[in-house]
Amino acid sequence: MAMSATTIKQLFLLADHLKLSLLERQRAISLNIEPTKQDASITRSLSQLRDGIDILAAQQDDLGTADDSTSELSRIRKQYGDLYAQFHGTAPPSVSTTHPNDPALADDLAHAQSRFTRSQRNRNVRFRDNPSDEEDDSANRAALFQDQQRYRDEPEAANQSNLDNVQIHTHHKQVLREQDEQLETLGQSIGRQRVLGEQMGMEIDDQNALLDDVERGVDRHSNTLSGAQKRLGHISRKAKDNWNWITITVLIIILVLLIIVLK
């Protein structure tokens, strides 16, 4: 019966690991990160939990069931159903998927829940003036991180059903610490991108100011050319009027000369 108790404890620890992994998966989805490798780890852990429950049920059938063992088996079986439903999207998370079986993991689970809630809130207040901006942001993110290692919420997970409480607790603290470092790097990259955007905005403002100056200069030259054209027209009209008087004067002189000659 001691072996059964140890197996039940390991199954509850594995269930706690699945709760943390599902929370991290939800947070990754909220950050538009594909949890492909994490899904494989969760699927393996669910299979291990199901196999452990089947083995434990078979042992109880062979040895005879006790009330406390049956209650523990029903409890872990219910948690497996809730975790399976949460992962496959057939039902919302229940209370059993948000509370750890081991009190030592309460801080880790609460930290993961708070980070997921914070990322959901940041995502909900985000808005777009233009839907095409989201595609541009995706392209910018791809270009920004093309030389960096791809972000992973969780590395390839080993079989954790044989780990004790301290080892699982240490493992999850390390995972959370690595994810904090990844998020800090992401925040720094976004900050650099924002600074570059502000610098580009300032350069665009300077270019607009230069264009305004050029436009004002063109307007001044246009006004000058218009004034010169008006003055040339005025001179042309005066010259035409003066030419008429010159013609009349020349004709009068010719007429006078003819009169003198004829006399």
Per-residue model confidence as pLDDT tens digits over 39-63: 888 888 888 888 888 888 888 777 7
| pLDDT over 50 (residue 126) | no
Under 8 Å CB-to-CB from 185, ≥6 apart: which residues?
148
Q: Tell me the three state secondary structure of residue 150.
A: coil
DSSP state of 243: H
Stretch among 21-25, 59-63, 99-103, 130-134 having the lowest mean pLDDT: 130-134
Q: For residue 234, what pLDDT band results from cuts at 50, 70 and 90?
A: confident
The residue with greater pLDDT, 223 or 142, is 223
In the predicted model, what is the mean pLDDT of the chain?
Answer: 75
- Mind listing the pLDDT tens digit for each residue in 206-232? 999 999 999 999 999 989 998 888 888
Q: For residue 25, what pLDDT band results from cuts at 50, 70 and 90?
A: confident
Distances (CA, A) of 49 to 38, 158, 215: 16, 14, 74
Residue 92 has a pLDDT of 44
Q: What is the CA radius of gyration of the chain?
A: 43
Residue 211 has a pLDDT of 92
**What is the Cα–Cα distance from 164 to 168, expressed in whole angstroms?**
6
Distances (CA, A) of 107 to 46, 88, 102, 115, 227: 23, 26, 10, 12, 82
Does the predicted TM-score (pTM) go above 0.85? no
The residue with greater pLDDT, 125 or 13, is 13
CB-count burial class (<10 Å; 0-12, 13-18, 19+) for 81: middle
Which structure tokens are listed for 34?
A: 């594909």
Which structure tokens are listed for 41?
A: 């780890």
